[in-house]
């Protein structure tokens, strides 16, 4: 057999064509994805946000739970970039407590006499860097004094907590819960979708009907009901896990649909038949031959499922049924911006909406680009 | 064709059954039973209930029977329109829900009509003028609508209204009509207040529909019959509207199956932010106060109405798509 092949005249190919011919499915997908500029840019943004999540404590400036009622609703601090002599030395004015002559309340106002310079890697609250070693260095700090005296980059909330620090830590929570939810959905989706597509018959019918039923139920009221039933005595971590499970209960259906569709179309492919005839075991056929050829589809489906997870968590927490304080997530932060009174006094609280919108938009563009690239031959 | 209808009907019934089980589970989930919370409620207001009376009450509601018997009893009462008593309001659940359910439906339907109304012209335009600046702008706006969660959009709109127009956006009625009985004036008042929440809800669903419409129409526009129509000198507008658009209209009916649950879900959250008198705020309050019969009834009713809506849309789809009528697919 091999002699016949050897005897055939070698087809004339260019180097580029040869490269395409031997490339793996993932390589082809990647090459095609690279051409999609918006998707690549979105990918960079998503990566940036996960970096923020990873380094959240380092980027924060003030302990996210440090409260001081007297510092309530301080507007974002103005950073003065240049000194009087025109040199580039960013600084802020320290906040000085003053008694309000009418209410006798202690109010904090910037004091132009007391200049504090911003420094890189300044001292702040103590934390564990990446959970590895304890430190109290943060990306930005002050040259002298405690950051709590002057450094409120995005202002404070009602309880006087630093909004910037809370926002970066919320980014960590919300992004991680999205990932955990997707991981669980992916497991359920691949398992049930795979069984459905592989075995067909009545199992397939049952699973497909189950998916149809799940998709025709309005999710928010259902989630609200389930989330409200979580005991109030549960710890933050338990609630966290339970919320993840609740939001992935519906999320798996779309992934299962994609996986099933792929299994169904691949089952009839020649290379699968060839592997079967060559005596490969079922597991080997699935994991060595079938999965690699639709891995890119799964990656695309996952990156489209993630924003849905994040929206779900944010919505539930916003309603007060998801994560509860002291946990910090985007939804928990937005809960403070719920009523018009709070927004009237402290409009900067609405800034928590910005990362939500940017991340979800970026994930959608990324997923879209990946989905287009997932069919490199198309 | 009849087989298709029957299959859809059976699926709808199974779905409704599944929803009823989940709703009952929600009622059952909090610790303690209905009588416990009822007694706690009564003793909070000063009156005492003897153990004997409590037992009699448990007997009446069948709470000492196995769980599936309790479920059957509850279902039996629900089918007769008795959803139990709301603990917090101390009134029958049906009375508490009242108009709110219908207002939820009105908002959801308005949102769906608006979704179609926005997506259809934009989808056609984006396909006919593919890669034009407007195509990119519409695609981007659609994506933003998709990416911004409903409640956030409502929050931002409310803030902008407050900040720049000094108007409090919220509610579905002007104060003078809020408690008034239904009249033509009230209906008009509702019509005036409806577009904003409906638009907020609609924006989230349009993006996907625009993209489906655009993709379908692009496929159709490349077909030879379009070239033929042009070659025969038909006006461009007729060439596009007469056949390709009609052929790509399918998703508008077929997507209602996912659009309806989505919009109903969204209406709950948007209602909370904009304080609309739908079942949304009621559901949240009921859940927070553990008023489980009310919460369960709302989840059940919303689910059932959604399934009925989806079933009706299936019938419409069958009516407009000859392929399904002929039993070729679906």
ipTM of the complex: 0.78
Q: What's the structural domain count of chain A?
A: 2
Average pLDDT of the segment spanning B86-92: 78
Given a cut of 70, is residue A105 above it in pLDDT?
A: no
List Cβ<8 Å contacts ≥24 apart for B308-312.
B308/B12, B309/B256, B309/B260, B310/A216, B310/B12, B310/B256, B310/B257, B310/B260, B310/B261, B311/B8, B311/B9, B311/B12
Confidence label for A3 from pLDDT (cuts 50, 70 and 90): very low
Same domain (yes/no): A239, A344: yes
Q: Which of A151, A182, A209 is the last residue of a domain?
A: A151
Domain that includes residue A89, residue range: 77-151
Q: Are A320 and A179 in a shared domain?
A: yes
Inter-axis angle of helices B99-128 and B133-147, nearest 10: 150
Residue B262 reports pLDDT greater than 70: yes
CB-based contact B152 A307, cutoff 8 Å:
no
What are the CA-CA distances from residue A269 to residues A193, A259, A264, A275 (Å)?
A: 18, 16, 10, 10
Residue A62 included in any domain: no
Question: Same structural domain for residues A322 and A347?
Answer: yes
Cα angle value A243/A245/A246 (rounded, 5°) = 65
- If asked whether residues A327 and A194 sit together in one domain, one would say yes
Residues of A in contact with B11 (CB under 8 A): 209, 212-213
Q: Check which CATH number belongs to the domain holding A300 and give it.
A: 1.10.3720.10
Residue B252 has pLDDT above 60, yes or no: yes
Domain presence at residue A13: no
Closest Cα of chain A to B2: distance in Å?
19
Residue range A21-76, pLDDT digits in tens: 777 777 777 888 888 888 899 999 999 999 988 888 888 877 777 777 777 777 78
Residue B138 tokens, joined: 């519409």
Of the candidates A213, A318, A343, the beta carbon closest to that of B151 is on A318
The whole-number pLDDT of residue A50 equals 92
Give pLDDT, residue A44.
93
Q: Which residue from B144, B265, B272 is facing A218, i.e. has the nearest CB?
A: B265
A279 and A205 both lie in a single domain: yes
Q: How close is the nearest chain A Cα to the Cα of B128, in Å?
A: 21
Instruction: Identify the closest residue of chain B to A219 by CA–CA distance.
Output: B265
pLDDT of residue B330: 41
- Give chain A positions within 8 Å (CB) of B258: 215
Residue A18 lies in a domain: no
Question: Per-residue pLDDT for A18 more than 80?
Answer: no
**Taking CA atoms, what residue in A is nearest to B288?**
A228
Query: Is the same domain home to A240 and A106?
Result: no
Give the model's confidence band at B167: pLDDT under 50 very low, under 70 low, under 90 confident, else very high.
Answer: low
pLDDT tens figures, B10-33: 888 888 888 888 888 877 777 666
Q: What is the pLDDT of residues B272-289, one digit of tens each?
A: 888 888 888 888 888 877
DSSP conformational letter for A352: G
φ, ψ dihedrals at A162, nearest 5°: -70, 125
In a domain, A350, yes or no: yes
Residues of chain A contacting B21 with CB distance shorter than 8 Å: none
Q: Are residues A185 and A271 in the same domain?
A: yes
Of B168, B261, B290, Cβ closest to residue A340: B168
Q: What's the pLDDT score for residue A1?
A: 42
Q: Are residues A81 and A52 in the same domain?
A: no
Q: Is residue A19 one of the residues assigned to a domain?
A: no
A128 with A185, same domain: the answer is: no
Is residue A7's pLDDT more than 70?
no
pLDDT of amino acid B328: 53
User: In terms of domains, do A117 and A242 share one?
Assistant: no
Task: Please indicate, yes or no, whether residues A176 and A99 belong to a single structural domain of this protein.
Answer: no
Position A263 in a domain: yes
Question: Given A97, A127, A151, which residue is the final one in a domain?
Answer: A151
Asked whether residue A247 falls in the same domain as residue A313, the answer is yes
Report whether A43 contacts A300 (CB < 8 A). Answer: no
Q: List the single residue in B15, B150, B266 with the smallest CB-CB distance to A213.
A: B15
Look at residues A127, A151, A175 and tell me which one is the last residue of a structural domain.
Answer: A151
């Amino acid at each position: 057999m091999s002699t016949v092949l050897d005897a055939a005249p070698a087809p004339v190919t260019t180097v580029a064509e040869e490269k395409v011919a031997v490339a793996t499915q993932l390589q082809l997908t990647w090459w095609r994805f690279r051409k999609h500029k918006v998707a690549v840019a979105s990918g960079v943004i998503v990566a940036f946000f996960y970096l923020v999540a990873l380094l959240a404590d380092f980027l924060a400036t003030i302990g996210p739970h440090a409260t001081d009622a007297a510092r309530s609703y301080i507007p974002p601090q103005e950073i003065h970039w240049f000194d009087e002599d025109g040199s580039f030395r960013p600084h802020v004015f320290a906040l000085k407590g003053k008694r309000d002559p009418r209410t006798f309340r202690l109010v904090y106002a910037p004091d132009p006499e007391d200049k504090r310079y911003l420094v890189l890697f300044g001292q702040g609250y103590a934390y564990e860097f990446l959970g590895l070693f304890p430190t109290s260095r943060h990306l930005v700090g002050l040259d002298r004094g405690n950051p709590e005296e002057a450094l409120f980059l995005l202002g404070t909330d009602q309880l006087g907590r630093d909004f910037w620090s809370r926002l970066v830590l919320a980014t960590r929570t919300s992004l991680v819960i999205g990932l955990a939810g997707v991981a669980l959905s992916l497991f359920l989706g691949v398992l049930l979708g795979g069984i459905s597509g592989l075995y067909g018959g009545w199992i397939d019918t049952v699973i497909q009907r189950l998916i149809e039923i799940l998709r025709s139920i309005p999710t928010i009221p259902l989630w609200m009901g389930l989330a409200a039933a979580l005991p109030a005595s549960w710890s933050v971590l338990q609630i966290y896990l339970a919320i993840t499970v609740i939001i992935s209960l519906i999320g798996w259906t779309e992934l299962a649909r994609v996986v099933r569709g792929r299994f169904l179309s691949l089952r009839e492919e020649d290379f699968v038949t060839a592997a079967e005839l060559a005596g490969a075991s079922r597991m080997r056929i699935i994991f060595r031959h079938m999965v690699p050829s639709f891995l890119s589809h799964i990656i695309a489906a996952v990156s489209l499922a993630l924003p849905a997870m994040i929206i779900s968590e944010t919505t539930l927490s916003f309603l007060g049924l998801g994560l509860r304080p002291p946990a910090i997530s985007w939804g928990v932060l937005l809960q403070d911006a719920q009523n018009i009174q709070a927004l009237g006094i402290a409009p900067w609280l609405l800034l928590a909406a910005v990362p939500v919108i940017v991340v979800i938009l970026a994930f959608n563009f990324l997923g879209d680009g990946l989905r287009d690239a997932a069919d490199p031959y198309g | 064709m009849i087989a298709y209808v029957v299959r859809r009907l059976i699926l709808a019934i199974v779905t409704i059954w599944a929803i009823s089980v989940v709703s009952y589970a929600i009622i059952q989930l909090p610790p303690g039973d209905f009588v416990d919370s009822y007694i706690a409620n009564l003793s909070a207001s000063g009156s005492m209930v003897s153990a004997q009376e409590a037992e009699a009450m448990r007997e009446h509601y069948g709470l000492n029977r196995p769980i599936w018997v309790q479920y059957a009893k509850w279902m039996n009462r629900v089918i007769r329109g008795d959803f139990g008593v709301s603990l917090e309001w101390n009134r029958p659940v049906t009375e508490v829900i009242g108009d709110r359910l219908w207002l939820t439906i009105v908002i959801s339907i308005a949102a769906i009509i608006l979704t179609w109304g926005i997506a259809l012209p934009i989808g056609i335009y984006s396909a006919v003028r593919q890669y034009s600046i407007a195509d990119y702008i519409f695609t981007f706006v659609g994506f933003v609508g998709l990416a911004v969660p409903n409640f956030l959009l409502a929050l931002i709109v409310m803030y902008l209204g407050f900040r720049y127009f000094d108007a409090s956006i919220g509610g579905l009625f002007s104060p003078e009509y809020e408690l008034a009985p239904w009249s033509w004036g009230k209906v008009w008042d509702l019509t005036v207040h409806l577009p904003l929440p409906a638009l907020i809800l609609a924006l989230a669903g349009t993006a996907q529909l625009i993209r489906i419409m655009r993709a379908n129409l692009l496929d159709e526009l490349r077909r030879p019959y379009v070239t033929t129509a042009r070659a025969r000198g038909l006006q461009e507008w007729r060439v596009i509207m007469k056949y390709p658009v009609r052929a790509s209209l399918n998703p508008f009916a077929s997507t209602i199956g996912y659009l309806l649950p989505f919009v109903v879900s969204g209406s709950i959250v948007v209602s909370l932010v904009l304080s609309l008198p739908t079942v949304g705020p009621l559901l949240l309050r009921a859940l927070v106060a553990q008023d489980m019969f009310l919460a369960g009834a709302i989840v059940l009713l919303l689910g059932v109405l959604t399934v009925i809506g989806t079933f009706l849309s299936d019938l419409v789809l069958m009516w407009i798509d000859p392929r399904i009528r002929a039993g070729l697919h679906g």
